[in-house]
Amino acid sequence: MALPEVVIVEGPVASSPALSGADVDALVVPLAPPAEGDSDPQPRAGTADAAARYGIDLSDLAERLHASGAAGDAHSIDLPRPAGSGVHLPWTGLPTRLVLVGVGAGEPADLRRAGAAVAKHSRGLRTVVTTTVAGSGPELVRAFVEGYLLGAYRHPTRATGTPAPAAAERLVLLGDHAAEAVESARSAAQATWTARELTVMPSDTKNPQWLADRAVALATQAGLEVEVLGPRELAAQGFGGILAVGAGSATPPRLVVVRYTPPADQPGPAPAHVVVVGKGITYDTGGISIKSREAMVPMKTDMAGAAVALTTVLGAAAAGVTHRVTALLPLAENAFGASSYRPSDVLRMYGGTTVEVTNTDAEGRLVLADALAYADRELEPDVLVDVATLTGAATLALGRTHGALFTPHDSLARALETAGERSGERLWRMPLVEEYRPSLDSDVADLRHVSAGLTGAGAIVAALFLRQFVGGRRWVHLDVAGPARASAAAHEVPEGATGFGTRLLLRWLAGPLDA
């Protein structure tokens, strides 16, 4: 799907010809909450000029609509058209729809919500014009445009094909705006749209081969290097975890490697090499440790981490980040069949570590372990990041609004937390509790992959298991099981697959990797 167009037109509302276009359907004006001791929402950039040009008391209109000015609170009104050719109304020749949108305290999160609200109030329109962030700094402009573009997304369906975006086709930003902020917002939103589209695809289409083919097509289109290891290569090189998890499926597993290398003549220090590994379970039945019916329903989204890893490298290339970025996508379907791996099996992972299996529904950490070990041994990363819908424990701990962040490196944690706050994809750092590590000891292998004798702390134990495969690398684990899926739409987040993680990683890659 194509994103709506975003255009900057300089000039004030009072005299701008941008409002007179035949395809302009609405003008959006911003409001803030009432000042202390007042009861009326406060006008913001361009609102007073709009009132003068339309000849309307917008304060009275806001009161009649019960507009609060709170972030994302939006109200539309369609002005009457003249009854005859000789009737001239103050707004003749201007858009007949006005949208009053609340911007709250004017923080980036508020503007992101405001942008999403504008998207929802402009469905079916051609062009909307707004002064919401006129004269604002780049961070606020980016937040508003991101909110609009993210709110414009709708999941594709088989019944209707690719739907039209849930917003006007064209957003005109009236006034002085930073063009680079708009471009950054478009790049991040496009990456998130792609992650959502991949994640929501039904699994009878989205098997490991299909997802590998899509990754090849997208990477090739972006001019990136891409390599796919099939079952023969995986077996020859010893990827025991990926092969075991995918053994019960009619479609064998894959490992996809996508590489972005920045131009060699860029100024500044030498770029770091960041490897992003994404869990790519295209469907998860739980295997022999089978899930309940209810728990199985959303499992087409269990490859959300792989979608984030792929769109991160695509977004990094589109934005021209200075760091070298490689995405690893270990792809498998955890099916139930005669050849499925079993509890009590002992697997030999990439690099030789043996793992005792005790629950085949903890398959994500096995495919990640193979990919992390491969990255450590073959790719020489400066920073190794994995992203996964890994544990229900992380969802129980943090709900649907925060991803769980695990790392022993304080500076990396701070930088990623900052990127999360700035992008609206928030993280909460969780501890790597050393006292829990012995619960992964095994009598028949180097490690168990699920703890023995330990109640709770499932997300922490999973992170401790993954840590065993990163060597001495600087490493971050993001468990996004909660925010990768939304049970209901809210502001810029759609119901279902959210694409959580792509924008925060792109923000992180665009700035210092350490804070």
Encode pLDDT of 296-308 as tens digits: 999 999 999 999 9
> Which domain-ending residue is among 114, 144, 177?
177
- Tokens, residue 341: 């791996």
Q: What Å distances lie between residue 78 and 44, 96, 97, 121, CA to CA? A: 21, 6, 4, 12
427 and 279 within one domain: yes
Task: Tell me which of 391 and 22 has the higher pLDDT.
Answer: 391
Summarize pLDDT for 139-150 with one digit per residue, the tens: 999 999 999 999
Give the pLDDT of residue 307: 98
Q: What is the tens place of the pLDDT at every residue in 68-77?
A: 999 999 999 9
Tell me, yes or no, whether 419 and 469 share the same domain.
Answer: yes
Look at residue 166 and tell me whether its pLDDT is greater than 80: no
Distance from C-alpha of 278 to C-alpha of 248, rounded to nearest angstrom: 21
Q: Is residue 326 part of a domain?
A: yes
Residue-wise pLDDT tens digits, 329-366: 999 999 999 999 999 999 999 999 999 999 999 999 99
User: Residue 489: what pLDDT?
Assistant: 85
Predicted local confidence at residue 352, as pLDDT: 97
Burial 352-387 (b: 16+ CB within 10 A, else e): ebebbbbebbbbbbbbbbbbbbbbbeebebebbbbb
Do 343 and 477 share a domain, yes or no?
yes
Give the pLDDT confidence score for residue 459 in this predicted structure: 97
First vs last Cα of the chain: how many Å apart?
Answer: 36
Co-location of 333 and 403 in the same domain = yes
DSSP 83: S
Could you tell me the pLDDT band of residue 89, with boundaries at 50, 70 and 90? Answer: confident
414-468: per-residue pLDDT in tens?
A: 999 999 999 999 999 999 999 999 999 999 999 999 998 888 999 999 999 999 9
Q: Which string of DSSP letters, residue by residue, matches 236-282?
A: HHT-HHHHHHTTTSSS--EEEEEEE---TT-SSSPPPEEEEEE-EEE
- What is the Cα–Cα distance from 20 to 53, expressed in whole angstroms? 12
Structural domain boundaries, residue 357: 190-229+273-510
Residue 334 shares a structural domain with residue 222: yes
In a domain, 257, yes or no: no
Higher-pLDDT residue of 227 and 35 is: 227
Q: 428 in the Ramachandran plot: left (φ > 0), alpha (ψ -120 to 50) or beta?
A: beta
Residue 164 has pLDDT above 60, yes or no: no
pLDDT tens-place string over residues 456-496: 999 999 999 999 999 999 999 999 999 999 988 889 999 99
291 is catalytic: yes
Residue 160 pLDDT exceeds 60: no
- Tell me whether residue 92 is in a domain: yes
Model pLDDT, residue 269: 72
226: three-class secondary structure by DSSP: strand
Q: Is 365 noted as a catalytic residue in this protein?
A: yes
In the chain, % of residues over pLDDT 70: 98
Q: Which of 73, 75, 70 is nearest to 107 (CA)?
A: 70
Do 204 and 349 reside in the same domain of the chain?
Answer: yes
DSSP code of 493?
Answer: B
16-20, 25-29, 73-77, 241-245: least confidently modelled range:
16-20
Domain count, the chain: 2
Of 365, 422, 474, 507, which one is the catalytic site residue? 365
Q: Are residues 426 and 466 in the same domain?
A: yes
Q: Is the residue at 66 inside a domain?
A: yes
Q: Is residue 384 located within the same domain as residue 326?
A: yes
pLDDT of residue 161: 55
In a domain, 264, yes or no: no
Residue 238 located in a structural domain:
no
Looking at the fold, whether 63 and 99 belong to one and the same domain comes out as yes
Q: Which residue has the higher pLDDT, 88 or 409?
A: 409
- Give the residue from 177, 204, 220 where a domain finishes: 177
209 and 164 within one domain = no
Q: Is the dihedral of CA 394, 395, 399, 403 positive or negative?
A: positive
Q: What is the pTM of this model?
A: 0.95
Q: Which two tokens stand for residue 178?
A: 């930073």
* The pLDDT of residue 104: 96
Collect all residues with Cβ–Cβ distance below 8 Å to 455 and sequence separation of at least 6: none
Query: Does pLDDT of 311 surpass 70?
Result: yes
- Does 252 fall in a domain? no
Q: Verify that 160 and 293 share a domain, yes or no.
A: no
What average pLDDT does the segment 204-221 reach?
97
Catalytic residue among 126, 291, 348, 437: 291
Strands (E) located in 162-224: 170-174
pLDDT at residue number 162: 58
Cα 122 to the chain's mean position, in Å?
A: 23
- The rounded mean pLDDT for the chain is 93
Asked whether residue 211 falls in the same domain as residue 349, the answer is: yes
pLDDT at 1 over 90: no
Identify the CATH number of the domain in which residue 497 sits. Answer: 3.40.630.10
CATH number of 87's domain: 3.40.220.10
Question: Could you give the CA distance from residue 140 to residue 146 in angstroms, rounded to a whole number?
Answer: 10
At 158 the pLDDT is: 62
Last residue of a domain, one of 134, 153, 177: 177
Is 266 inside any structural domain?
Answer: no
pLDDT in tens, 367-394: 999 999 999 999 999 999 999 999 999 9
Q: Is the pLDDT of residue 45 over 90?
A: no
C-alpha pair distances (Å), 495 with each of 24, 195, 301:
30, 14, 12
Query: Rounded to whole angstroms, how far apart are CA atoms 474 and 513?
Result: 11
